[in-house]
Amino acid sequence: MTFLLSDYKKNMQSSLDALHKEFVGLRTGRASTNLLEPVTVEAYGSRMPMTQVGTVSAPDARLLTVQVWDKDMVKAVEKSIREAGLGLNPTTEGQVIRIPIPDLTEDRRKELTKIASKFAEQTKISVRNVRRDAMDEIKMLEKDGDISEDDLHRHNKEVQDLTDSFIKKVDDMLSAKEKDILTV
């Protein structure tokens, strides 16, 4: 059996992709349909993305609307938006939910940077978990005699270098997002 670094690289990349999606949801005072991407709705016995229960649109720079397809889901969608931690206060008109986007106060900007930092830290933990799994596999291969001690050290260094590069990407993404959020 051989050690494939590419498998672990894919797992780390998927963590980075998830962070990107979380960051897309953190908006900076302008209405964007991406703002509701991370929001899921309790629907039909499971959690579903907002886009699977209605159409999200941004008719202007300060307003989002969700046209809910099933009138029985309107309350659940409104509740999900309210509880998503995005600081939004939706109002319902029939099957349309209107979500005014408030101006970002300095406090709200600071709060959003803290949320971004939390997402980044969760991603770093995820990347480190992938590193741990890779290191465990390497140790197992060496213990079973499939690789030499030199290979063990070489693979450990490759995994650590890969981890360091992904942690740096997370830090760079966080830095860019914080700058974006704090720019008035």
Residues 122 and 84 grouped into a single domain: no
Mean pLDDT is lowest, of 24-33, 137-146, 168-177, for: 24-33
Instruction: Give the global pTM.
Output: 0.67
Q: CB–CB of 36/48 below 8 Å?
A: no
Residues 49 and 94 grouped into a single domain: yes
Q: CB–CB of 160/6 below 8 Å?
A: no
Residues 80 and 139 grouped into a single domain: no
Residues 78 and 113 grouped into a single domain: no
Q: What is the mean pLDDT of residues 169-182?
A: 91
Residues 18 and 109 grouped into a single domain: yes
What does the buried/exposed string (b/e) look like for 94-128 if buried means 16 or more CB atoms within 10 Å of the residue's CB? ebebebebeebeeeebeebbebbeebbeebbebbe
Domain span including residue 147 = 5-22+105-182
Residues 127 and 178 grouped into a single domain: yes
Residue 163 sits in a domain of what CATH number?
1.10.132.20
Residues 96 and 69 grouped into a single domain: yes
**Last residue within a domain, chosen from 77, 100, 123:** 100
**Last residue within a domain, chosen from 76, 100, 124:** 100
**Last residue within a domain, chosen from 65, 100, 135:** 100
Residues 38 and 93 grouped into a single domain: yes
Q: CB–CB of 120/171 below 8 Å?
A: yes
pLDDT digits (tens, 9 = 90+) for 70-116: 888 888 888 888 888 777 888 889 889 998 887 777 887 888 888 89
Rounded distance, CA 43 to CA 119, Å?
A: 25
Given this model, what pLDDT does residue 87 score?
76
Residue 83 sits in a domain of what CATH number?
3.30.1360.40
Q: Which two tokens stand for residue 16?
A: 């980075």
131 pLDDT band, cuts 50/70/90, is very high
Given this model, what pLDDT does residue 166 score?
96
Q: Is 48 left (phi over 0), alpha (psi -120 to 50) or beta?
A: beta
Residues 122 and 69 grouped into a single domain: no
Amino acid (one-letter) located at 91: T
Sign of the dihedral through C-alpha 146, 150, 153, 155: negative
Number of domains in the chain: 2
Residues 137 and 111 grouped into a single domain: yes
Residues 39 and 95 grouped into a single domain: yes
180 pLDDT band, cuts 50/70/90, is confident
Nearest to 101 by CA among 18, 26, 14: 26
How many whole angstroms from its chain centre is CA 155?
29
pLDDT over threshold 80, residue 68: yes
Given this model, what pLDDT does residue 168 score?
97
Nearest to 69 by CA among 103, 44, 102: 44
Residues 81 and 143 grouped into a single domain: no
